[in-house]
Structures are given as C-alpha cells and as structure tokens.
Amino acid sequence: MKCNYAHVLLALLVLPGTVVFSHADTNLSAGLDQFLTPPPAREARLHGPLVYGVRPGSPLLYRIPCTGERPVEFRAEHLPPGLTLNPTNGILTGEIQQPGDYPVTLFARNARGGDQRNFCIKVGDQLALTPPMGWNSWYIHFSHVTEATMRHAADAMIASGMADFGYQYVNIDDGWNIKPGNKNSPADLPTRDAEGHLLPNKNFPDIQGMVDYLHGRGLKAGIYISPGPTTCAGFAGSRGHEAADARTFAGWGFDFLKYDWCSYGDHASTKTLDYFQQPYRVMSAELKKQPRDLVFNLCQYGMADVWQWGGEMGQCWRTTGDLGNEHDTDLPGFYHIAFRNAKLSAYARPGAWNDPDYLLLGWVGGSHGSHPTTLTRNEQYSYMSLWALMAAPLIFSGDMDRLDAFTLNVLCNAEVIDVDQDTLGRQGRIFRQTADEYVLVRQLADGSRAVGLFNLSGQTRTVAVPLGELGLAGHPIVRDLWRQQNLGPCNGLLTAEVTPHGVQLLRVQTQNH
C-alpha cells in the first residue's frame, strides 16, 4: 500500500480569514489560503532546544521560548545553584561554576493550560550545541545600520512572537564603526581611542547601552569585524588589535562575533592552510580568554575547506559566498547554496555548524528600501525546510518592520524549528538529486527521520521515496511538519504531490522507537 499525501493537503489548508498569529500584518492583501503553519495554541507551549551549552562561570542568559496567551507563569525544577528564573518573563540568568550536565525541568502555565519539558544545561567547553537562531542587519540595513534599528529589531523579535519560538540573537553586521576616509567619517577621524579601543561611529552613540537593552529583554547581541585592516564595506578591521578587540566586544557584553575575511587576503604572500587558519585561530584564542561566551562565526566563504577545521576555532562557518548574490533564472539562488552546503553534511555536529548564510524571506532589502521577496510562497517554505534539514543557523536578515503574517508563518513553525534544533546535531544527507527532484533525510535524536521531498521542476510533481531505502521498516507514523498533522500509517512508499520548487517536509517515526 502507498500513502499519497496530496489529497490530505487540501483538507489542511488554513481557512481564509483565520487569524494567523496576532501581530501586525503589513501584507494582508495576499490571501491566506497558502499558509501552512497552523496558528499557535492558546495554551502555554514550550519551544526551543533541549540542550544549552555554557562555559563555567560565564554569564548565562536564556529567554525560555514559549507561545500561548499571556500572562504565562514560568517555573523550573532542579535549577542548579547560581541560576535564577524570572517567573513572569521566563528569563533565566546567572552562572554555574562547576562543569557538568545539569538536567532541569521547565514548566510554563497560563489560564488555558500548561506545558513542561526537559532542558539540559551543559557546562563545559562547548557553545551553540544547537544552531544559533536570530536576526542579522546586513541584508536590510547594509552599512547604514544604527543603534536605534538594532533596539527596534529586538523589540520586533519579541512583539512578533519570533522570540517565543527561539530566535534570540540580534546581530549587527558591517557598518557600526568608523570608516577610514569616508566622507561622513573623514580620514583624520580616529578609528580607535588613545588606548587602542575600537570606536563605534555616530550611529552607535551608546553601544553598551544598546547591548544592555537587548539583554534586558532576554535577547543576545552580536557584532561584526574583519581580521584584515578593513571590513568588507571598508570600516576599520581588527588587524594587529585582536586581543584589544576581543576584550572590547566582551566588555560591551556581546555574545556573538562574525569575523569576515575580506581585506585580510590583501596581505597574503603565500596561501598555505596555515595562512587561511591563522586569523581565525588568533581571534578564537582571544575570545576564549574572555569572561563571557561569544559564539564565533567564521565568515570566509568556504576557503581551504573550512568545514574540516572551523569547528576547532568557532561554532559555525560560512560554506559559500553571499546568498544575496546568488542569482539564477530558473531555480532560486538559495537552492544552489543548499546544494553545495548539503554536500558537507558529514562535518556538522553539536557546537560546529555549516552556515549557508541568512534567511532572505519576506520583505528584503534593496537600494530603495525593502520590498517583498521575489520568491514564491512555496519557495519560501522550501528555503526554511532546507535550512532546518541542514542544521543551519536560522538567522533571518529581512525587514523586522515588515514581519507580515506570511513571513512569520514560514519563520515560526515550532515543529520545523525542532528539526533544525535537534539535539543529535546531525545534518541531513542528500538522498536523491536529479534535475527535477531533491530529497534530504535527517536523522533525529528520537530515532525518527526528517525527510524533505523537494520538487525542482516548474510543474507539480509526485515525489516518492521507498521507506526501506531510508532505513525505516514497519509501518511508521508520518507527520506533515508544515501543517503539523499526522498523515496516517504508511506502508512501503513515502509519496507526495509537491508544488513547483516546493516541498513536502515529513517526520517519519517507526513505531517501535
């Protein structure tokens, strides 16, 4: 017997007029009939990763992701000494001195019902035990980013509900410090103070206050610089000041550093492996000396097979060039980036992730402000599915002022995010790649498999995968993750009718697990 899921889909469409999320919608003109993610339950529901890495003695800050009507009351059992949970906003703070695993049970309750889940705090050397989730300023503000836009992005992350699904990093990209020789910051304007500390530009009058503001909301702050003399957009780089800059970033309270190669290469004489590794090794060592945890993102576009060694220095490494520059007349660029990134599945593991660049969904940036993406809705669901299957960092880089209902429907599906954040940390593998079909299969911690059936063609197409070839026997339970519905027992063949450039994302669980 086969199970063909095409017909089930019709029954699962969200009814027109259904309110999908409660936040402001700037794009309601597009009908609601293609929204896949159902609205979140009104009861308190806990989300986010089941594991969290922190170093001994480092400040821990974690806003427990939770959907449902407010007020929600939070509670935790077995919290290790040194940690405090604010019962009203669900923000966990403190520090743990002793290395080890600390299993905690989290509880959340509102007027309609409650939820609980296990959460293991692992105090040791490893950070980012699941891929980082958040927002980055680059593709929307480019080098015109300001402190006000960062604060505003943090507010939007909370007001939109993104933070309730686990988005937590609010990351400044290029453009926050002084640009030598720029007309707004003339060449005689120093890039550092007398002690060698990096100076923010006039758009960041109170960078430490901005970081405090983010932290006050339970969110984390990210910053950007290059190992060369200048950044990619020509702002001052760290070359020769790595120790001071790591101290400065930690002193301001940052939690994440993107280190972007760019002008470093101008100073190259020889191109040995050591030459490629050196700037990252230096900054990594400086970050490790700091009294707080900074997730280190290596951005050098995949040179010298960074996936083979990036995990020794940081927690994630860009595997390709800029996704925003990836254009194609047929398949959208994110597919081509995914094809390259997916080949590197063997290198991803907890605390060490392939990074195929940002989520460019919804309203994205351009030379004249933001505009709706040219991607179809099906393509946007595919994009998010690929990133979840590839255990990619989920960093949105679109317009936080225009988080319309559809964009949030793609970004905020708890079951899709659970695939990305799965504790086993195994990246999905390529099961099939033809001109018309692409199938990724990801093994998950509970023994189930996430399976993405992608249709690369321009026509609706039936994509089928024999269960036996996935290593799954018996009569597994198959769940449609976008629609959050079980599809009934399946014998022999997983098959779905998939829209052009679209996806059917399934979780397949054999019943003896």
Work out whether 172 is an interface residue with ligand GLA (CB under 6 A): no
CB of 434 vs ligand GLA, minimal distance in Å: 30
Residue 322 annotated among the catalytic residues of the structure: yes
Which sign, positive or negative, has the C-alpha torsion 295, 299, 305, 307?
positive
Give the residue with the Cβ less far from ligand GLA, 121 or 262: 262
CB of 55 vs ligand GLA, minimal distance in Å: 26
Work out whether 174 is an interface residue with ligand GLA (CB under 6 A): yes
Give the residue with the Cβ less far from ligand GLA, 129 or 361: 361
Nearest CA among 511, 447, 443 for reference residue 475 = 511
Work out whether 355 is an interface residue with ligand GLA (CB under 6 A): no
Rule CB under 6 A: choose which of 115, 245, 255, 260 binds ligand GLA.
260
Per DSSP bridges, beta strands 83-85 and 91-94 are antiparallel
Work out whether 232 is an interface residue with ligand GLA (CB under 6 A): yes
Residue number closest to ligand GLA, CB atom: 232
CB of 419 vs ligand GLA, minimal distance in Å: 24
Ramachandran region, residue 509 (left: φ > 0; alpha: ψ -120 to 50; beta: rest): beta
Work out whether 326 is an interface residue with ligand GLA (CB under 6 A): no
Distance between CA atoms of 390 and 269, rounded to whole angstroms?
35
Token reading at 254: 């940052």
Rule CB under 6 A: choose which of 46, 299, 463, 465 binds ligand GLA.
299
Give the residue with the Cβ less far from ligand GLA, 69 or 322: 322
Work out whether 303 is an interface residue with ligand GLA (CB under 6 A): no
Rule CB under 6 A: choose which of 74, 138, 363, 482 binds ligand GLA.
138
Find out whether 110 and 91 touch, Cβ atoms under 8 Å: no
Residue 436 annotated among the catalytic residues of the structure: no
Rg (CA), the chain: 22
Work out whether 322 is an interface residue with ligand GLA (CB under 6 A): yes
Which position among 245, 260, 418, 422 bears the catalytic label? 260
Nearest CA among 166, 176, 170 for reference residue 152 = 170
- Transcribe 435-483 into DSSP letters: SSEEEEEEE-TTS-EEEEEEE-SSS-EEEEEEGGGGT--S--EEEETTT
Rule CB under 6 A: choose which of 25, 95, 115, 173 binds ligand GLA.
173
Query: In the block, which residue shows the tokens 């880089």?
Result: 397
Token reading at 344: 């590197």
The helix/strand/coil state of 78 is: coil
Q: Which stretch binds ligand GLA (CB under 6 A): 13-21, 231-239, 264-272, 331-339?
A: 231-239
User: With helix as H, strand as E and coil as C, how does 267-326 read?
Assistant: HCCCCCHHHHHHHHHHHHHHHHCCCCCCEEEEECCCHHHHHHCHHHHCCEEECCCCHHHC
Give the residue with the Cβ less far from ligand GLA, 360 or 408: 360
Work out whether 280 is an interface residue with ligand GLA (CB under 6 A): no
Residues involved in catalysis: 260, 322
Query: Which positions lie near ligand GLA, rule CB under 6 A?
Result: 138, 173-174, 231-233, 260, 299, 322
